[in-house]
Amino acid sequence: MEETKVHKWRWGVNRWFVLLFIILGIIGANLYPPVQPHIQVAAEPLTEHPLFSLPVLGDVYLTNTMLAMVVVDIILILVVLAVQKAVRSGSLVPQGISGAVEALFETLYNLTESSAGTKWAKTIFPYFSIIMLTVLVANLTKLIPGYETIGLLHPSEHGAPIKELFPGVYTLIKGEVEHGGGYGLIGFLRGLPTDLNFTVALALFSVFMTQVIGVRAQGARYFTKFFNVTTLFSKPGFGAIDLAVGLLELISEFAKILSFSFRLFGNMFAGLVLLVLVGSLIPVFFQSTVLLFEFFIGLIQAFVFGMLTMVFMAQATQGHGEGDSH
């Protein structure tokens, strides 16, 4: 009975908190109606001067997605430290975050073992798990309130007027401004997967490590998958077909980079645009539905990115052609 009363009390308190936040949201949306910000594909620089210059790439600025990467890294490090602390405590029953991470990793390892086999599961699993966990954290952190709405104001031709809330703290407000007299917002943080540089780098790493695992599993014979000339002279007709199929396989490896990059980037950037538009039109109720939708999209995209990486790595360990021992 006592435990039931505690649960009822907690539910009652949570219900009042939800009602309080709804009321505060309605009041805030009426006092300061949301302004639809300027949306751009490229990450916004936070500094006027570049951090350093590279010979080919040119000037490198500190962008809001770089800071988002630091946040993602810190979260991952804290998760690792929490799990390490739980393991060192000697507890036989993991609880809290360590229990959740153990359950997640156990499920992922079973998936890897069922796809790649026991022999290569331990080799593939670290890449599969860290890629999936990184994408998952990067996708979900962008849903934190204020993640893309707190930042620096800068003069903008398509900007909005500002109003001082506290000394040195301003907010954008709706209204007409003279030409070039408005301000725009550059958020301190921006969803990491909405930066194409991040998704391309992750895709390059995934495809490159797939080739490395393929070479480790099959040696030099792995490259016959792309340049199959073993039957070109003994069976010219079938040899020409094998060579053409190998070239198609080579093209498909480069296509994986584009597929990985633009699938994750497109879904997450579309979610950013949807949240911005819905937040400026219906700021209180409907945006919560979009946030829940984005939560599931983030989970699905992380799972898809990780699973495809794992499947491609598992396929790379399998032989092709006449030399296949299977």
The predicted pLDDT at position 237 comes to 67
- What DSSP designation does 280 have? H
Pick the more confident residue, 143 or 228: 143
Please tell me the distance from the alpha carbon of residue 267 to that of residue 258, in angstroms, as a whole number: 14
Condensed to tens digits (0 to 9), the pLDDT of residues 85-131 reads: 877 777 666 677 777 888 888 888 999 998 888 888 999 999 999 99
Per-residue pLDDT, averaged over 314-319, amounts to 83
In the prediction, which pLDDT does 323 show?
Answer: 43
Q: What is the pLDDT of residue 324?
A: 44
Confidence check: pLDDT of 271 > 50:
yes
DSSP state string for 76-142: HHHHHHHHHHHHHTT-SS--HHHHHHHHHHHHHHHHHHHHHHHHHHHHHHHHHHHHHHHHHHHHHHT
Residue 267 has pLDDT above 60, yes or no: yes
- State the chain's mean pLDDT as an integer: 82
| Domain range list for the chain | 83-150+189-326, 155-187
84 vs 307, residue with greater confidence? 307
* 208 pLDDT above the threshold of 90: yes
**pLDDT > 90 in the chain, percent:** 27
pLDDT at residue 321 above 60?
no
Report the range of poorest mean pLDDT among 26-40, 134-148, 176-190, 208-222. Answer: 26-40
What are the tens digits of pLDDT across the range 145-154?
888 888 888 8
Per-residue pLDDT band for 1 (boundaries 50, 70, 90) equals: very low
What gap in Å lies between CA 18 and CA 26, rounded to an integer? 12
> Global pTM?
0.83
Q: State the number of CA atoms in the 13 A half-sphere of 238 facing the CB.
A: 6
Please give the share of the chain, as a percent, with pLDDT higher than 70: 86
pLDDT for 155-205, tens place per residue? 877 778 888 788 888 887 777 776 667 888 888 999 899 999 999 999 999
